[in-house]
Structure 1
Amino acid sequence: MTPRLPYRPATAVAVAGLLATACGGGDSRPSSAAEKPHGYVAGAEEASEAQWRLVLAGDDRVRLLDPATEKVTDVAAAPGVTGVRSDGRFAYLTTSAGMRTVDSGVWTVDHGDHVHYYKAAVRDVGTVPGTPGAITGDQAVTAVSGGPAVRVLDRKALEGGKIPAARGIPGRAAVAYAEHLVIAADDGTVRVHDRQGAETARLTEPCPQARGQAVTKRGAVLGCADGALLVTGKDGRLTGTKIAYPGRVRAAERATEFHHRPGTPVLAAKAGDRGLWILNLAAKSWNRAGSAPLTAVSGTGEDAPVLALDTGGTLRSYDPKTGKQGDKTNILKKPNAASVIQVDTARAYVNDPAGRRVVEIDYRDGLRVARTFDLAFSPQHMVETGW
């Protein structure tokens, strides 16, 4: 590994420190049994900044890489992994037996006017039965969509190290948003459910052939055959606004899976095998960018570049407002279809299975390679946690 300290913006660290002080300090342990500071979580330590971790699956094991310390922690044997997703704290590894669930031990709680960052012990929780799929979640539930029904998992049970029984709700795509579950059904109707699964309302705007979902600070998104449905809430009531595609789009070129820095309102999606879509929620607009087949894409922020990794191993940046291409750099000598782009507030990470390494990119500095993490195994699958 190259001996370079990770970039941490001074302003972000200072603000995080002030928030931690205002919410009870960097140590979340109470001074007595009767005194529990604001933000206290049993068994966890409160930190002054986000605790990012990269969950890596490869060579039949799952491991965690801490970019701040460059330490790799072996978690458990994990044969047959074909993918991995996260709800911010837990990593869900796709296997033939179901979703192998790993508690990465790092997460963020956003209270709106301040944020808490936590770290705890890493542990292998077990396997959630059923077909794995797309993941969204909040502090109460995690929604797994992708089959004939959305499965809802109790986060408290997972946090306690137990695999909960999943509740099933008919639907193809779902988001956990504003203390509700928003679920698009096969017939295109979009229903609002409470966290126990009971239907409480229906949105007037439909979402036909729903595929793809995301949650941002500007609202939740469902991908539809005719564009994207932006769901927002006010006074406890949710409404949907359609952001239509700019003209006719073939089914093979639809955006069906969104990628972005968690919470941010610029989403990226592959446009079939020709370029990518950029969905800007602030402008409520789509841009089509590039024309090459891509391996991975991701938005990095409202005023930061959209990233795309092509099948030749070249990473490119695009303007989030215009779709115009900016910088480019070749980062993979032997491209791999399993490579992904994971983004946090300062860096982007690309797993390089053939090179047995993870590449760290400073996406605000001309796609500069900041570090490479050389590994003793092949990181076939990767997801970032701590958000």
Structure 2
Amino acid sequence: MLHPLLPRLFPRLFPLPFVAVLALTGCAATGSAPPPTADTHGAIEGAVELAEPALGLTSIDGEGRVSHLDLLDETTVEIGQVRAPLAVHTDGRYLFAIDETGVAVVDSGVWTWDHVDHFHYYRADPQHLGDVEGGGAATVATSNSSTTGGTGLFFPETGDAVLLDTEALSKGRVEESFRLARQPGPGMVVPVGSFAAVASADEVTLHRSDGATIGDSAVCLDAAGTITTRVGAVIGCRDGALLVHVEDERPVVERIPYPEGVPAARATAFANREGRPRVAALAGDLGVWMLDTRARSWTLLPAPEPIVQVTAVDDADANVLALTPDGRVLVLDGETGAARAASVPLVGQSLAAGAPVTLVADQQRAYLNGPVEGRLWEIDFADDARIAREFATERTPVFFAETGR
């Protein structure tokens, strides 16, 4: 997500005033991408297949220096340098570092191939792959696959809607499948299998990977927020959400309206454990929106206290994780909203300073960064939100992503 108070935290990086354009991101990936016809199980030439996921925390500091912390042996390696970002988006392998002039693409070198009933794990050399030029802080949307399908970028100043070839990224090349001209302003390009949905000017159009239009357009007022589940890609709209998925080798759009008579604010950003069907979003001051993409339904959960960030683990216990204004991690019951556990305050200073704090979850752990505190934390949310590990980093983790998943 975009953090307009970064100039206050790192003034020498931003010597001139600027207007930050809100970037729509998610700790989880966006756009569905089924396995290719010739099933390679995610293997790429030069990559080593592993017996278990090579999980790590890949971070970018305030000057754009990229490093990777291996969560198995706790060693850190330097990957390279990008322009100081305003926001970072990830799909669990790549980091897309966003600034006002484009998007830098960093390959963490670790990823998981989800084959639905089993997984394959890989490691390759990490590297800065290159940059995509554009005007204004882009919205980035990714799929659940880091070796197939596409990656979407929308540049608000110029209205450029770009689809990158993700298979080319996996082979070290930054290649555009299409670049379409749209009205300047908010928008997004959401990958959906071998297709893409482009949201701009209150309309969503469907496209082949070469940019050709396919099917009918759909109305989506004030599109904001996107995420992917096993079911399809979600695009947030003023009146609910659009679910875009592939049936009979064609993209299909379904509308999931909000429940009638519920006065909560709309969802504008979604987060979950990667690929899971249920996703979470803030519902203003009233609590948490839970969107079940399998059931095509919304549920409003009351929050036990004010929260500023939320993500759905969507595990057997229906855990939902939330962040409080004073920097505690809450574990909530995803069926009732009741608090199950809470950590000690961790990132209160960062939240008070407006620093870009991110809370992400996988099946067993949650991870949190504190730019002001200069720390990264691993939290065992199933064990009363216990702090499992604390990492004191040499460089300030302004942005980070859990990679290898």
TM bin (shorter chain): 0.7 to 0.9
3-state SS of paired residue (2:280) = strand
Q: CA deviation at 1:108?
A: 2.1
Q: Which residue of 2 aligns with 1:22?
A: none
Q: CA deviation at 1:215?
A: 0.9
Counterparts of 1:66 and 1:353, CA distance in 2: 19
2:225 is the alignment partner of 1:212: yes
Unaligned runs of at least 5 residues, structure 2: 1-39
CA gap of 1:211–1:38, structure 2 versus 1, over 3 A, is closer
Q: Which residue of 1 aligns with 2:140?
A: 134
CA RMSD for the aligned pairs? Answer: 2.6
Amino acid at match of 1:384: E
Work out whether residues 162 and 176 of structure 2, in 8 Å CA contact, stay in contact via their aligned partners in 1.
Answer: no
Equivalent of 2:85, from 78, 81, 85? 81
Equivalent of 2:380, from 340, 357, 362? 362
Counterparts of 2:398 and 2:215, CA distance in 1: 42
Equivalent of 1:124, from 118, 128, 142? 128
1:1-387 to structure 2, matched below 5 A, reads: 40-60=43-63, 61-130=65-134, 131=136, 132-137=138-143, 138=145, 139-145=148-154, 147=156, 148-165=159-176, 167-169=178-180, 170=182, 172-188=187-203, 190-202=204-216, 206-247=219-260, 253-272=265-284, 275-283=287-295, 284-290=297-303, 293-303=306-316, 304-332=318-346, 333-336=348-351, 337=354, 338-387=356-405
Q: Which has the higher contact order (CA 8 A, sep 6+)?
A: 2
Work out whether residues 297 and 340 of structure 1, in 8 Å CA contact, stay in contact via their aligned partners in 2.
Answer: no
3-state SS of paired residue (1:199) = coil
CA gap of 1:379–1:220, structure 2 versus 1, over 3 A, is same
Counterparts of 1:201 and 1:356, CA distance in 2: 49
Counterparts of 2:259 and 2:233, CA distance in 1: 20
Counterparts of 1:289 and 1:144, CA distance in 2: 34
Counterparts of 2:175 and 2:246, CA distance in 1: 29
3-state SS of paired residue (2:349) = coil
3-state SS of paired residue (1:255) = coil
Work out whether residues 280 and 321 of structure 1, in 8 Å CA contact, stay in contact via their aligned partners in 2.
Answer: no
CA gap of 1:47–1:99, structure 2 versus 1, over 3 A, is same
Deviates more, 1:253-262 or 1:162-171: 162-171
CA gap of 1:144–1:291, structure 2 versus 1, over 3 A, is farther
Counterparts of 2:269 and 2:223, CA distance in 1: 10
Q: CA deviation at 1:113?
A: 4.2
Counterparts of 2:255 and 2:390, CA distance in 1: 41
**Sequence identity percentage:** 34
Render the CA deviation track for 1:47-83: whole Å, top value 9, x for unaligned: 1222222221114222111111211111223452222
Q: CA deviation at 1:288?
A: 3.8
Counterparts of 1:38 and 1:308, CA distance in 2: 34
Render the CA deviation track for 1:165-191: whole Å, top value 9, x for unaligned: 463234823321232212334233x33
Counterparts of 2:127 and 2:325, CA distance in 1: 35
Counterparts of 2:177 and 2:382, CA distance in 1: 41
Amino acid at match of 2:279: L
Counterparts of 2:266 and 2:118, CA distance in 1: 37
Amino acid at match of 1:240: V
Deviates more, 1:162-171 or 1:144-153: 162-171
Q: CA deviation at 1:119?
A: 0.8
Deviates more, 1:156-165 or 1:130-139: 156-165
Counterparts of 1:259 and 1:372, CA distance in 2: 23
Q: Which residue of 2 aligns with 1:28?
A: none
Amino acid at match of 2:314: G
Work out whether residues 351 and 379 of structure 1, in 8 Å CA contact, stay in contact via their aligned partners in 2.
Answer: yes
- How many residue pairs align between the two structures? 349
Unaligned runs of at least 5 residues, structure 1: 1-36
Q: CA deviation at 1:274?
A: 5.6
Work out whether residues 261 and 298 of structure 1, in 8 Å CA contact, stay in contact via their aligned partners in 2.
Answer: yes
The structure 1 segments of at least 4 consecutive aligned residues displaced by more than 4 Å after TM superposition are: 37-40, 248-251
3-state SS of paired residue (2:173) = coil
Amino acid at match of 1:81: P
Q: TM-score normalized by structure 1?
A: 0.81
Q: CA deviation at 1:384?
A: 1.9
3-state SS of paired residue (1:157) = helix
